[in-house]
A and B are shown apart, each in its own frame.
Chain A
Amino acid sequence: MIELDNVGYSYGGGELLGDVSVQLAPGSFHFLTGPSGAGKTTLLKLCYGALQPTAGQVRVFDQDMRKLDRDQMALMRRRIGVVHQDCRFLDHLPLSENIALPLLVSGKDLNGEEENLRELMKWVGLAPRADAVPQELSGGERQRAALARAVIMSPDVVIADEPTGNVDWEMSQRLLQLLVELNRMGKTVLIASHDLALIRAAKSQVQARVLRISNRRLQLAGADL
């Protein structure tokens, strides 16, 4: 699905990541961990094309990311659902329209998808909040809404950046549950998190691999977790 081949990323002279090689196979479940500022978000951005690597090659769906033109990049993003760290909503639109935004921008018939949308909002437990604007939502609600928006296009890959960053343990368990369910439906899942307890909890439910960034290199973490 997503392949990083000797990928490096530098900015303003300093190297943040180097020699990163990893393959996300279809249906796999990966955690990405490491200290704050190690480059977790950067690595995720390289995976969905928000950043271009300064070295090496990123291949998404067997295509070299660098060779995609702007429209192809847009089409690629419709196949990768991303839960951003700061959620990224349009603050003037109600929640239901924010979640349906990927459908709207890709020209899908919104009336035909109404049933799907309702079901999805029920799945993340936000059905009663459909008409709320994003500012009125709690942290957990925002994260769940972001997840709903990430999966509404039924993407092949779901990438989540600290999805449990500012929610309590119970809520993070719930979010994890949703991501595990997505994985069982065959989606490739990549989650950046520094919450080791969460990773341990996940390992009991799903065969998750843990990638760790340390000293600008990506390592496959062993059984120490």
Chain B
Amino acid sequence: MSAGTIRSLLMGDKQADRVVPPTGFTARLTLFVSGAMAFLAVFALALSLASGRLADRWADELARSATLRINAPADQMADQTMMALTILRQTPGVAEARALTAEEQTALLSPWFGPNLPIDTLPVPQLIEVTETGEGYDQAGLRLRLSAEVPGAVLDDHTRWREPLVAAANSLRRLALVSILLIGGATAAMITLAANAALAANAQVIEVLRLVGAKDRFIAGAFVRRFTLRALLGASVGVVLGMGGVLLLPEASQEGGFLTGLGFRGAAWLLPLAVPIMGAAVAFAATWAAAHRTLKELT
């Protein structure tokens, strides 16, 4: 199908549209369905983008950090921490090593123990946050040196729990993308059903048009235009509502953890605007195919 054909199918004039009788009820159903589908598509899109961001962040930031945990009797804690920090600062490939303050450790633990527990009375290990440079450090060498000089130190490079998290975020993203495809497919199916119903209901009209010398393009155009515009309008309303819904989601925050921050960021806000256009394109193709199937059976 050439660009000219598509243009002439979509343009058409008011008078040509009148040859197909107006259908109030099915028109509203098509509007509703494409609106609902667009609304869902916006959320699937937000989910896919957010899980993508999450996966990237975990894969990226956490890969370049590690935690050193020091378990030592209370009187040796400060010495061992000092020692570990010194070793870490001497290790090539470590960009930064920083012992967490007591307050920071309390903040980390309070969600689990509650705010009222006096954590400083517990034998809490000291944590040291290690940030790598781009090249990274020699893990085996560092472990060996630590075990010799700081017996209470355990190096955790996060791989153990980072990998399943990244995998989970990635499969969430895949799921969201599959949902978008399914939404598109379901919209196509629904529009095809509606278009077939409209074509069947107007079989007489189509026959008369054909008898007075209408080309297939004219007849198909009357239906294609109608359904494309309905899908475009419905999907636009759906997208506006969907974006409003996403806007109302809570902001990303420390307390909310990774479940917040599901919305769009920056230029990604433009992405949902493509949904009505895609919806209209799907409706165009579905109606065009349905009309051609019907017309082929007429002389």
A190 interfacial by beta-carbon distance below 8 Å: no
Which residues of chain B have C-beta atoms less than 8 A from A77's C-beta? 210-213
Interface 1/0s, chain A 77-110, versus B by CB < 8 A? 1100010100011111100010001101111001
Known contacts A90-B205, A92-B21, A110-B15: A102-B213 contact under CB 8 Å: yes
How many residues on A have C-beta within 8 angstroms of the other chain's C-beta atoms? 30
B293 CB to closest chain A CB, in angstroms?
Answer: 14
B16–A104 touching, CB < 8 Å: yes
B216 interfacial by beta-carbon distance below 8 Å: yes
Find the B residue at minimum CB distance from A153.
Answer: B213
Find the A residue at minimum CB distance from B296.
Answer: A70
A105–B299 touching, CB < 8 Å: no
B156 CB to closest chain A CB, in angstroms?
Answer: 72
Inter-chain residue pair count (beta carbon < 8 A): 64
Interface 1/0s, chain B 193-235, versus A by CB < 8 A? 0000000000001011111111111100000000000000000
How many residues on B have C-beta within 8 angstroms of the other chain's C-beta atoms? 21
B19–A104 touching, CB < 8 Å: yes
A71–B215 touching, CB < 8 Å: yes
Find the A residue at minimum CB distance from B21.
Answer: A92
B18 interfacial by beta-carbon distance below 8 Å: yes
A25 interfacial by beta-carbon distance below 8 Å: no
Task: Report the bound CA distance from A98 to B118 in whole Å.
Answer: 89
Find the B residue at minimum CB distance from A45.
Answer: B299
Within 8 A of B (CB), among A9-35: none
Task: Report the bound CA distance from A213 to B242 in whole Å.
Answer: 68
Which residues of chain B have C-beta atoms less than 8 A from A153's C-beta? 213
B115 CB to closest chain A CB, in angstroms?
Answer: 72
Q: Which of A49-57, A176-184, A215-223 forms contacts with chain B?
A: A49-57
Task: Report the bound CA distance from A91 to B204 in whole Å.
Answer: 10
A75 CB to closest chain B CB, in angstroms?
Answer: 7
A102–B299 touching, CB < 8 Å: no
Find the A residue at minimum CB distance from B295.
Answer: A70
A90–B213 touching, CB < 8 Å: no
B299–A78 touching, CB < 8 Å: no
Say which residue of A49, A76, A92, A105 sits within 8 Å of B209 (CB atoms): A105
B214–A74 touching, CB < 8 Å: yes
A101–B299 touching, CB < 8 Å: no
B19–A93 touching, CB < 8 Å: yes
Interface 1/0s, chain A 191-204, versus B by CB < 8 A? 00000000000000
Q: Which of A76, A88, A90, A153 has the most CB of B within 10 A?
A: A90
Interface 1/0s, chain B 83-112, versus A by CB < 8 A? 000000000000000000000000000000
B15–A101 touching, CB < 8 Å: no
Task: Report the bound CA distance from A25 to B37 in whole Å.
Answer: 60
A88–B208 touching, CB < 8 Å: yes
B135 CB to closest chain A CB, in angstroms?
Answer: 69
Question: Could you list 25 examples of A-B contacts with CB < 8 Å?
Answer: A50-B211, A70-B295, A71-B215, A71-B216, A74-B213, A74-B214, A74-B216, A76-B213, A77-B211, A77-B213, A78-B212, A88-B208, A88-B211, A90-B19, A91-B21, A92-B22, A93-B18, A97-B18, A101-B208, A101-B212, A102-B212, A104-B19, A105-B209, A110-B15, A153-B213
For the A-B complex with A88-B207, A101-B209, A105-B19 known, give 5 more contacts whose Cβ atoms are closer than 8 Å. A70-B216, A74-B210, A74-B213, A101-B19, A149-B212
Give the interface of B toward A (CB within 8 A): 15-16, 18-19, 21-22, 205, 207-218, 295, 299
> Which 4 residue pairs spanning A and B have beta carbons closest together?
A105-B214, A78-B213, A77-B213, A92-B21
